[in-house]
Amino acid sequence: MFRQSWSPYLAGAVTGLLLVLSVLISGKFIGASTTFARSASVIEQTVGIDTSVFEYFTTSNGKYGPASLPNWQLMFVVGIIIGAFVASMLSGDFKLQAIPGMWNERFGGNPFKRAVVAFIGGVIALFGARLAGG
């Protein structure tokens, strides 16, 4: 159970159960994207940018502003990193890897190229997620 991989159906069903329990016990639905917007406000504040000039960081009593952290979802995202690390160590899947296999086949082994595309993808994906409210 801890060493082998799980069927996606089983792992998905258990995840569904985890979500239901989370809603019942702590009233929280699973999500991650808002944490990156909130963290951006904390980083801006740390480097001396006045975040109050951004309406997004002050709207709904600063729901997305620097004072909103730490919160449940930030800890949830940190937990994902820990949980994935533990599971990958147990199953022997942990591997420091700069270029995924499918990327390498199509675009080659230049780690800088992969880093640039991953970074730009991250910018666009998070912008889209925040706009859609996901």
| Residues of this chain, 95-124, that bind another protein according to CB under 8 A | 95-103, 111, 114-124
- Within 10 angstroms of residue 98's Cβ, the number of other Cβ atoms is 13
**Of residues 5, 46, 60, 61, which one binds another protein by CB under 8 A?**
5
Ramachandran assignment for 36, one of left (phi > 0), alpha (psi -120 to 50 degrees), beta (any other): alpha
- Count of residues engaged in binding another protein, rule: CB under 8 A: 96
User: In the complex, what is the shortest distance from the CB of residue 61 to another protein, in angstroms, rounded to a whole number?
Assistant: 16
Please tell me whether residue 127 binds another protein under the rule CB under 8 A: yes
Phi then psi for residue 124, to 5 deg, are -65, -45
Dihedral through CA 55, CA 58, CA 64, CA 67, nearest 10?
150
**Residue nearer to another protein on the CB measure, 61 or 97:** 97
| Residues of this chain, 21-40, that bind another protein according to CB under 8 A | 22-28, 30-33, 35-40
User: In the complex, what is the shortest distance from the CB of residue 108 to another protein, in angstroms, rounded to a whole number?
Assistant: 14
Distances (CA, A) of 30 to 17, 50, 65, 71, 96: 12, 30, 20, 13, 27
| Residues of this chain, 41-70, that bind another protein according to CB under 8 A | 41, 43-44, 51, 54-57, 59, 64, 70
